[in-house]
């Protein structure tokens, strides 16, 4: 399963060919916190929620945040300086078994773990 963070959905919305290929060919997991960020950004930018919400629900597994993922996120955030919500998103993807994660966030590239690839769109 491929992991995607918030920026992945803006890449989709913009027609990014890599993101579109992933959507068409892969099982994608997203954190419930990504949904939160997308809805908040939709309000802020005046984007109709159905435009982004439809992308989240299409061919996706939405991941809840667990206590274990929260604990790991605290360690990730402390060790890398990645902002808390992004560390929470990342840790929920890792807990779900995602080993390839697509992002537009530069700070997620600070995370390094053997067997995990963070790819910037």
pLDDT reported for residue 6:
92
The domain total for the chain is: 1
Report whether 28 contacts 2 (CB < 8 A).
yes
Q: What is the DSSP letter of 15?
A: T
Residues of the chain under the 70 pLDDT cut: 59
pLDDT reported for residue 59:
58
Strand, coil or helix: 104:
coil
Question: What's the domain range around 103?
Answer: 2-120
Find tokens 């992308």 and name the residue.
55
CATH number at residue 22: 3.40.50.1010
| Prediction pTM value | 0.92
pLDDT reported for residue 107:
93
Nearest alpha-carbon partner for 9 in 84, 44, 59:
59
Q: What is the largest CA-CA distance in the chain?
A: 40
């Amino acid at each position: 399963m491929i992991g995607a963070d918030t920026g992945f959905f803006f890449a989709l919305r913009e027609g990014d060919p890599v993101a579109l290929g992933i959507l068409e060919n892969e099982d994608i997991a997203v954190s419930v916190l990504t949904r939160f960020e997308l809805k908040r950004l939709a309000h802020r930018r005046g984007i109709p929620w159905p435009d982004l919400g439809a992308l989240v629900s299409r061919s996706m597994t939405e991941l809840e945040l667990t206590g274990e993922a929260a604990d790991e996120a605290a360690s990730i955030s402390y060790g890398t300086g990645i902002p808390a919500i992004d560390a929470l998103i990342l840790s929920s993807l890792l807990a779900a078994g995602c080993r390839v994660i697509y992002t537009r966030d530069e700070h997620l590239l600070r995370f390094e773990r053997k067997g995990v690839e963070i790819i910037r769109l």
